[in-house]
Amino acid sequence: MRRLIWRAATLVEVRAETATARTLVLDVPGWPGHLAGQHLDVRLTADDGYSAQRSYSLAAPADGERIELTVELVDDGEVSPYLTEVIEVGDQVEVRGPVGGWFVWRPESRAPVLLVAGGSGIVPLMAMIRARRLAGSRTPFRLLYSLRDPGRRYYAAELRRPEPGLDITYLYTRTTPEDWPRKAGRVMLGDLAESGWPADFEPDCYVCGPTGFVEVAADLLLDLGHAPEHVRTERFGPSGG
Partner 1 sequence: MGIISRGFRGRRTEGGDRLPPGQYLEHGFPVLSAGPTPRVPLDRWEFAIDTETGQTHRWTWPELTALPAETPTVDIHCVTKWSKFDTNWEGVSLDTLFEDVETSVEYAQVYSYGGYTTNLPLEDLLDGKAWLAYRYDGEELEPRHGGPVRLLVPHLYFWKSAKWVRGIRLTNEDWPGFWETAGYHNYGDPWREQRYEGD
Ligand X SMILES: Cc1cc2nc3c(=O)[nH]c(=O)nc-3n(C[C@H](O)[C@H](O)[C@H](O)COP(=O)(O)OP(=O)(O)OC[C@H]3O[C@@H](n4cnc5c(N)ncnc54)[C@H](O)[C@@H]3O)c2cc1C
Interacting residues toward partner 1 by CB under 8 A: 1-4, 6, 8, 41, 43-47, 49-55, 78, 82, 86-88, 91-94, 96, 99-103, 211, 215, 218-219, 221-222, 228-229, 231-233, 235, 237-239
Q: Cβ of residue 69: shortest distance to ligand X, in angstroms? A: 6
Q: Which of these, 72, 174, 191, lies nearest to 123 by C-alpha position?
A: 72
Single residue of 17, 68, 204, 234 touching ligand X by CB under 6 A: 234
Q: Cβ of residue 232: shortest distance to ligand X, in angstroms? A: 12
Q: Does 55 bind ligand X (CB under 6 A)?
A: yes
Stretch that binds ligand X, among 52-60, 138-146, 161-169, 188-196 (CB under 6 A): 52-60
How far apart CA 30 and CA 212 sit, in angstroms, is 37
Q: Cβ of residue 230: shortest distance to partner 1, in angstroms? A: 9
Closer by beta carbon to ligand X, 39 or else 152:
39
Q: Could you tell me if 230 and 222 are in contact, meaning their C-beta atoms sit under 8 angstroms apart? A: no
Q: Cβ of residue 29: shortest distance to partner 1, in angstroms? A: 12
Sheet holding 51-57: strands in order across?
Answer: 51-57, 39-45, 92-99, 7-16, 21-27, 66-72
Query: Taken in order 218, 223, 229, 230, is the CA torsion positive or negative?
Result: negative
Cis bond before residue 98 (omega within 30° of 0): yes
| CA-based end-to-end distance of the chain | 39
Closer by beta carbon to ligand X, 50 or else 164:
50
Q: What are phi and psi of 228, to 5 degrees?
A: -55, -35
Q: Does 236 bind ligand X (CB under 6 A)?
A: yes
Q: Which of these, 134, 105, 92, lies nearest to 38 by C-alpha position?
A: 105
Tell which positions 71-100 bind ligand X, by CB under 6 A.
71-72, 74, 76-80
Stretch that binds ligand X, among 11-19, 110-118, 183-191, 231-239 (CB under 6 A): 231-239
- Work out what residue 50 binds among ligand X, partner 1, none; the CB cut-off runs from 5 to 8 Å by kind: partner 1
Q: Cβ of residue 102: shortest distance to ligand X, in angstroms? A: 11
How far apart CA 240 and CA 21 sit, in angstroms, is 19
Tell which positions 99-138 bind ligand X, by CB under 6 A.
120, 123
Q: Could you tell me if 67 and 26 are in contact, meaning their C-beta atoms sit under 8 angstroms apart? A: yes
Closer by beta carbon to ligand X, 74 or else 224:
74
Q: Count Cβ atoms within 10 A of the Cβ of residue 235 and give its class: 0-12 exposed, 13-18 middle, 19 or more buried.
A: middle
Binding site for ligand X (CB under 6 A): 39, 54-57, 70-72, 74, 76-80, 120, 123, 210, 234, 236-239
